[in-house]
């Protein structure tokens, strides 16, 4: 399977770096509109630099799209028209209509389109899967220092969408309601946001994202009938706390020591694999027909749909606040 990378900025560079070593794929080369950038990356990685997007699309069976989000649809539809399988970085598109167009075009051509929600391949998340049983409440915090890269979109599409995709996949039920608030701090769009998503069946997710934090944090917690799970996605570790099999709570007041004696703590730890590498390997296997697709174009579209609902609620809250102050 001949593969290439379209867009070799910060993230596209790492896609190209890893794709050279993925079993089942032959790295054909890279393309970027910035000629100096593509030549520099090609020289560093020892790969071919294509002179145009069309030249790359003619030479490959599959491609990673890591161009700015606003260009995703144009590039993806051109690639699909050329018969190329895709992995499109998140968010899959700038608008829901564009996402639908990508999904529909790929289905019509029977092409594989994956969405780059890399947290699905986080080692801690994979380690917790055997213990997940219909979570009723999910809470996540994704905080990062300010970085001009990615500020062409609000924090919801830049950072929060990772956790939106996670909760959609973990709960596995339709979204019933969305409420959200966000605040612009350094950019015109929301730089800090909190969203509350309710699902059919009663599950609730509370998601916080910030790109103006002094600390980095990527943590998520699950509450379910069988216990409590806490994951540090940055470290790839976590823990699952549950009542020991056969344990019964004593009558009357229970001290901390007695309570701890009733609880079983299970350490959760990933295998140390680089999530981006795992994502690319899974994509290559899916394109080659060796395994099912993990994060589909439809998944990317659904995450984008919820993200856009959150942004709409943020705008509504902002407008209501201005009306009160005015």
Structural domains counted in the chain:
2
Structure tokens at 67: 């161009």
Tell me which DSSP letter residue 215 carries.
S
Which residues have a Cβ under 8 Å from the Cβ of 114 and sit 6 or more positions away? Answer: 86, 87, 88, 282, 283, 286, 293, 294, 295, 296, 297
Helices 10-19 and 275-287: angle between axes, nearest 10 degrees: 60
Query: Rounded distance, CA 120 to CA 105, Å?
Result: 25
Please indicate, yes or no, whether the overall pTM of this predicted structure exceeds 0.95. no
Beta partners for residue 195, in sequence order: 180, 207
Verify that 169 and 283 share a domain, yes or no: no
Q: Over range 299-319, report the average pLDDT.
A: 94
Q: Is 321 part of a structural domain of the chain?
A: no
Tracing tokens 């612009």 back to the chain, one arrives at 184
Verify that 18 and 80 share a domain, yes or no: yes
Distance from the Cα of residue 255 to its chain's centroid: 41
Verify that 249 and 158 share a domain, yes or no: yes
Verify that 127 and 260 share a domain, yes or no: yes
**If 0-12 CB within 10 Å is exposed, 13-18 middle and 19+ buried, where does residue 188 land?**
exposed
- The CATH number covering residue 7 comes to 3.40.50.720
Work out the number of other CB atoms within 10 angstroms of the CB of residue 301.
22
Helices (H), the chain: 10-19, 35-45, 53-59, 72-81, 96-109, 123-128, 155, 161-171, 256-262, 275-287, 297-325
Beta partners for residue 139, in sequence order: 206, 221
What percent of the residues of the chain are helix, what percent strand, and what percent coil, each to the nearest 5?
40, 25, 35
In Å, what is the CA distance from 4 to each residue of 64, 288, 295? 6, 15, 19
- What is the pLDDT at residue 320? 73
Distance from the Cα of residue 296 to its chain's centroid: 12
Reported as a single tens digit per residue, the pLDDT across 66-76 is 999 999 999 99
Verify that 138 and 249 share a domain, yes or no: yes
Q: Over range 29-41, report the average pLDDT.
A: 98
Query: Rounded distance, CA 121 to CA 228, Å?
Result: 21
- What is the pLDDT at residue 272? 86
Spatial contact of 284 and 137, defined as CB atoms under 8 Å apart: no
Q: Is 300 part of a structural domain of the chain?
A: no
Query: Rounded distance, CA 272 to CA 95, Å?
Result: 35
Q: Is 302 part of a structural domain of the chain?
A: no
- The CATH number covering residue 312 comes to 3.30.360.10
Reported as a single tens digit per residue, the pLDDT across 145-191 is 988 776 667 899 999 999 999 999 999 999 999 999 999 998 888 89
Q: Is the pLDDT of residue 252 over 90?
A: no
Residue-number span of the structural domain to which 55 is assigned: 2-117+277-294
């Amino acid at each position: 399977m001949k593969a290439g990378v379209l867009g070799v900025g910060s993230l596209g560079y790492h896609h190209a770096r890893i794709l050279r070593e993925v079993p089942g794929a032959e790295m054909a080369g890279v393309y970027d509109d910035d000629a100096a950038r593509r030549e520099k990356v090609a020289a560093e990685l020892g790969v071919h630099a294509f002179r145009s997007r069309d030249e790359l699309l003619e030479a490959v069976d599959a491609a990673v799209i890591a161009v700015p989000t606003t260009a995703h649809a144009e590039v993806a539809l051109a690639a699909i028209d050329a018969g190329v399988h895709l992995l499109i970085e998140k968010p899959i598109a700038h608008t829901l209509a564009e996402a639908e167009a990508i999904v529909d075009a790929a289905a019509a051509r029977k092409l594989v389109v994956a969405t780059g929600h890399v947290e699905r391949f986080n080692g801690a998340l994979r380690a917790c899967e055997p213990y997940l049983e219909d979570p009723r409440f999910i809470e996540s915090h994704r905080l990062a220092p300010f970085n001009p890269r990615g500020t062409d979109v609000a924090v919801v599409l830049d950072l929060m969408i990772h956790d939106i995709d996670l909760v959609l996949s973990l709960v596995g039920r339709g979204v019933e309601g969305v409420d959200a608030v966000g605040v612009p701090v350094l950019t015109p769009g929301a730089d800090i946001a909190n969203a509350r998503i309710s699902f059919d069946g009663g599950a609730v997710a509370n998601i916080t994202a910030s790109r103006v934090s002094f600390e980095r944090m990527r943590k998520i917690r699950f509450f379910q009938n069988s216990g409590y799970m806490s994951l540090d996605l940055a470290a790839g570790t976590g823990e699952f706390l549950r009542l020991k099999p056969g344990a019964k709570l004593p009558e009357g007041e229970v001290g901390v020591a007695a309570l701890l004696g009733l609880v079983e703590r299970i350490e959760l730890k990933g295998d140390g694999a680089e999530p981006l590498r795992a994502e690319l390997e899974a994509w290559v296997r899916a394109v080659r027909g060796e395994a099912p697709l993990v994060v589909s174009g439809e998944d990317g579209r659904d995450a984008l749909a919820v993200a856009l609902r959150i942004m709409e609620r943020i705008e509504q809250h902002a407008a209501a606040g201005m009306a009160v102050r005015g």
